[in-house]
Amino acid sequence: MTRKELFKNTLRKSVHAWKLINELPLSDDESLMLRHFMDQPGFLDLHWRMFVPAIKGQGTEEQKQKWLPLANKMQIIGCYAQTELGHGSNVQGLETTATFDPQTDQFILHSPTQTSSKWWPGGLGKVSTHAVIYARLITDGKDHGVHGFIVQLRNMDDHSPLPGITIGDIGVKFGNGAYNSMDNGFLMFDKFCIPRDQMLMRLSKVTREGKYVPSDVPRQLMYGTMVSVRQTIVSNASIAMARAVCIATRYSAVRRQFGSQNGGIETQVIDYKTQQNRLFPLLASAYAFRFVGEWLKWLYTDVTQRLEASDFATLPEAHACTAGLKSMTTSATSDGIEECRKLCGGHGYLWCSGLPELFAVYVPACTYEGDNVVLQLQVARFLMKTVSQLGSGKAPAGTTAYMGRAKHLLQCRSSIRKAEDWLNPAMVLETFEARALRMAVSCANNLSKFENQEQGFSELLADLVEAAIAHCQLIVVSKFIVKLEGEIKGKGVKNQLKNLCYIYALHLIHKHLGDFLSTNSITSEQASLANHQLRSLYTQVRPNAVALVDAFDYTDHYLGSVLGRYDGNVYPKLFEEALKDPLNDTVVPDGYHEYIRPLIKQHLRSARL
Ligand SMILES: CCCCCCCC(=O)SCCNC(=O)CCNC(=O)[C@H](O)C(C)(C)COP(=O)(O)OP(=O)(O)OC[C@H]1O[C@@H](n2cnc3c(N)ncnc32)[C@H](O)[C@@H]1OP(=O)(O)O
Ligand SMILES: Cc1cc2nc3c(=O)[nH]c(=O)nc-3n(C[C@H](O)[C@H](O)[C@H](O)COP(=O)(O)OP(=O)(O)OC[C@H]3O[C@@H](n4cnc5c(N)ncnc54)[C@H](O)[C@@H]3O)c2cc1C
């Protein structure tokens, strides 16, 4: 499809989905799944996952009563317009202004520079009638920083932009189809006025007289919508990883290369240890991210309930966990999808393998909802704060509780003696805890050598990111282990999950061996025992690998991959797909008479001469 056709088709699908949701009717959870199975980025994502939650989280009761019924019935369609051309990560650096005019009781929204144009918001370019806009609030000449406002963008009769608003789509993005079904947009305000009651005022207010009344709750609650979406992105990482792994695993069982003895059958590529060493850790990651995603959902629900009761104690932890896990899981999943493409050899590069499209549509997850490095630096700040408070009497809690055992973890030596010890959950956990703590403490020690802490932080950014990743990996490993300790239905399932859990952990040790050795968390002998155990786990997973991806229960239609077909009938179907290509509509291609024939004839003429 051309971009225009793709976009229009997405509108058609989205509206059809909305119709089904109402007609059946579907519950909230079911309708989320329906949008998920539409399997195409579109304006619904931003409306439901950012616009509505922003009003719910930051609006007053009256504002919610006014706007939510309209949004819930989709009588208005909204998006989340925060990022600008000049600033995305640095939210406090946004330039759009919302200046209060006491005479008219309105805010005047304005884009003072080109870099202040909103740039990227999904659904903004062509669809949204409304947006939650983030702009600097100015009253009486004073800048109060960034706040949220509900703004109508387009005329409800003919969809034209309201006077004072310039709006459009930012153009084609990475990949052919992929994210191009979404109208990521730009927007400029030219002294555009909105009533005062359209500032989202749950957190802070501007009175009729123009007085700014800050709230007594943390201003970071303004970032709440991002925390909520980051949490869902972790579960989505598991889904995308599982999809790629499903394709690569099934195809690796179908594909055969070398190893034929006496004219017999060749070896399935899944039986090569190199293939297993690349594939099975990704299979394990798909499960690991699913379990940590479930836990994160619980954490998010818990913090939301606490916030409602004005208990803000666990907000920093929720921010660090959602930011860090969003970053870690999306980076691993993007890399994992690309690895799955390579695991499928040449055929993985074909569009009909499903992997190029999956990669193109998935990879912006490393950037949206916060650049992955910027987010790990938030985790690093949280860790540095926690380390600095050790010994102050305030015991670290939640995911940093292990830091409370700093004395032991800084000195302990791993008691792994034989390969099977690497299947002992306590030993594995302690290894990850020691590595994470030692990396964090080492960063804190290096930081303390700088007179200026911010300058030190800048200097040590790369180390800080690595310490943050170590902490996040510990969380994933520990939540997998917790999952195994709970009730798991199905005969033998627990054993399979155990294998995957230890593949996940031991593969990380292998991959980040430098960290584990340099922090003395393990010795080189223990590292080689881990490798030995890993190979043995691969052998145990091998017979069940296809069953473990079948368990994701993805239909062929959803997978959209010739290589990942459930029936394994890959080769005839590759031919079928090839023959569908428009280039094969004729045997002689367009352009032959124009270019190829004259070239060949000229050659023939000169040959005759
Ligand atoms: C729906 C699926 C499709 C998704 C489509 C994508 C939609 C989008 O991309 S929307 C746009 C998303 N944009 C981003 O994510 C921007 C990323 N940047 C940020 O989140 C922030 O600006 C950030 C965190 C980097 C820096 O925040 P900032 O306030 O400038 O600085 P900083 O000084 O580091 O933080 C101040 C304090 O707030 C805390 N904090 C920061 N963010 C949060 C948060 N989200 N929740 C709670 N606390 C927070 C920090 O921990 C810090 O706490 P403390 O003072 O106790 O140490
Ligand atoms: C597909 C897609 C959809 C999007 N949808 C929306 C949407 O609906 N609404 C919306 O408001 N926005 C949206 N965005 C914007 C998105 O949230 C931002 O692009 C994102 O937050 C990253 O910000 P940036 O582009 O400014 O990157 P930058 O911050 O400019 O990053 C550039 C580089 O600088 C590095 N960097 C930046 N700051 C630091 C630092 N302090 N320390 C070290 N390194 C640093 C980064 O790691 C990165 O390598 C979307 C983006 C994409 C790609």
Q: Measured from the CA of 122, which atom of ligand 1 is nearest?
A: 5
What number of other Cβ atoms are within 10 A of residue 256's Cβ? 14
Select the more confidently predicted residue: 76 or 37. 76
Ligand 2 center–CA 257 separation, angstroms: 43
pLDDT number for residue 595: 96
Phi, psi of 169 (to 5 degrees): -95, 145
Ligand 1 center–CA 223 separation, angstroms: 6
**What is the pLDDT confidence band of residue 608, given thresholds at 50, 70 and 90?**
low
Ligand 1 center–CA 510 separation, angstroms: 32
Length of the chain: 609
List, for residues 6-26, the tens digit of each pLDDT value: 999 999 999 999 999 999 999
Q: Is the peptide bond before 589 cis (omega within 30 degrees of 0)?
A: no
* Percent over 90 (pLDDT), the chain: 91
Residue nearest to atom 33 of ligand 2 (CA): 371
Q: At what angle do helices 224-254 and 273-308 cross, to 10 degrees?
A: 160
Q: At what angle do helices 355-362 and 315-343 cross, to 10 degrees?
A: 160
Ligand nearest to the CA of residue 373, numbered in listed order = 2
Residue-averaged pLDDT of the chain: 96
Residue range 69-92: mean pLDDT, rounded = 97
Query: Quick one: tokens of 381?
Result: 């700040």
Identify residue 119 by its one-letter amino acid code: W
**What is the pLDDT confidence band of residue 491, given thresholds at 50, 70 and 90?**
confident
Q: To test ligand 2's pocket by mutation, which of 331, 374, 463, 469 has the most ligand atoms within 8 angstroms of CB?
A: 374
pLDDT number for residue 202: 92
Ligand nearest to the CA of residue 93, numbered in listed order = 1
Q: Measured from the CA of 236, which atom of ligand 1 is nearest?
A: 2
**What is the pLDDT confidence band of residue 35, given thresholds at 50, 70 and 90?**
confident
Ligand nearest to the CA of residue 378, numbered in listed order = 1
Q: Residues at the annotated binding site for FAD?
A: 83, 122
List, for residues 512-541, the tens digit of each pLDDT value: 999 999 999 999 999 999 999 999 999 999
Residue nearest to atom 48 of ligand 1 (CA): 220
Asked whether 252 and 269 are in contact (CB, 8 A), the reply is yes
Question: Does 502 have pLDDT greater than 60?
Answer: yes
Contacts of 446 (CB under 8 A, 6+ apart): 456, 460, 463
Residue nearest to atom 43 of ligand 2 (CA): 374
Q: To test ligand 2's pocket by mutation, which of 43, 183, 367, 455 has the most ligand atoms within 8 angstroms of CB?
A: 367
Q: Measured from the CA of 374, which atom of ligand 1 is nearest?
A: 25
One-character DSSP codes across 382-407 = HHHHHHHTTTTT----GGGGGGGGHH
Q: To test ligand 2's pocket by mutation, which of 120, 132, 151, 182 has the most ligand atoms within 8 angstroms of CB?
A: 120
Q: Residues at the annotated binding site?
A: 83, 122
Ligand 1 center–CA 109 separation, angstroms: 23
Alpha-carbon distance 552 to 35, whole Å? 18
Ligand 2 center–CA 116 separation, angstroms: 15
Question: Does 465 have pLDDT greater than 70?
Answer: yes
Cα R_g (the chain), whole angstroms: 27
* Percent over 70 (pLDDT), the chain: 99
Ligand 1: residues with CB < 6 A are 45, 49-50, 80, 82-83, 88-89, 91-92, 122, 220, 223, 226-227, 229, 315-316, 319, 368-370, 374, 378, 381
| Coarse DSSP helix, strand, coil percentages of the chain, rounded to the nearest 5 percent | 60, 10, 30
Residue nearest to atom 56 of ligand 1 (CA): 316
Ligand 2 center–CA 119 separation, angstroms: 11
Ligand nearest to the CA of residue 123, numbered in listed order = 2
List, for residues 116-172, the tens digit of each pLDDT value: 999 999 999 999 999 999 999 999 999 999 999 999 999 999 999 999 999 999 999
Ligand nearest to the CA of residue 366, numbered in listed order = 2
Nearest alpha-carbon partner for 138 in 87, 206, 83, 189:
206
Residue range 425-450: mean pLDDT, rounded = 98
Alpha-carbon distance 210 to 279, whole Å? 61
pTM: 0.97
Ligand 2: residues with CB < 6 A are 46, 80-83, 87-89, 120-122, 179, 184, 364, 367-368, 370-371, 373-374, 377, 461
Nearest alpha-carbon partner for 330 in 204, 249, 239:
239
pLDDT number for residue 263: 87
| Kind and range of the H or E run holding 480 | helix 461-485
Residue nearest to atom 39 of ligand 1 (CA): 220
pLDDT number for residue 164: 98
Residue nearest to atom 25 of ligand 2 (CA): 88
Question: Does 609 have pLDDT greater than 60?
Answer: no
Residue nearest to atom 12 of ligand 1 (CA): 369
Ligand 2 center–CA 6 separation, angstroms: 25
Q: Measured from the CA of 315, which atom of ligand 1 is nearest?
A: 47
pLDDT number for residue 607: 67
Alpha-carbon distance 204 to 147, whole Å? 9
Alpha-carbon distance 117 to 122, whole Å? 14
SS3 422: helix
Ligand 1 center–CA 36 separation, angstroms: 26
Nearest alpha-carbon partner for 329 in 233, 411, 195:
233
Ligand 2 center–CA 187 separation, angstroms: 17
Sign of CA dihedral 329, 236, 565, 352: negative
Q: Measured from the CA of 49, which atom of ligand 1 is nearest?
A: 1
List, for residues 165-223, the tens digit of each pLDDT value: 999 999 999 987 889 999 999 999 999 999 999 999 999 999 999 999 998 888 888 89
List, for residues 443-459, the tens digit of each pLDDT value: 999 999 999 999 999 99
Q: Measured from the CA of 373, which atom of ligand 2 is nearest?
A: 47
Asked whether 154 and 128 are in contact (CB, 8 A), the reply is yes
Catalytic annotation, residues: 369
Residue nearest to atom 52 of ligand 2 (CA): 368
Alpha-carbon distance 504 to 200, whole Å? 44
What number of other Cβ atoms are within 10 A of residue 360's Cβ? 18
Which of 174-178, 251-255, 491-495 comes out lowest in average pLDDT? Answer: 174-178
pLDDT number for residue 219: 85
pLDDT number for residue 368: 98
C-alpha distances (whole Å) from 215 to each of 208, 212, 228 are 17, 10, 21
Q: Measured from the CA of 79, which atom of ligand 2 is nearest?
A: 8
Residue nearest to atom 28 of ligand 2 (CA): 89
**What is the pLDDT confidence band of residue 604, given thresholds at 50, 70 and 90?**
low
pLDDT number for residue 53: 95
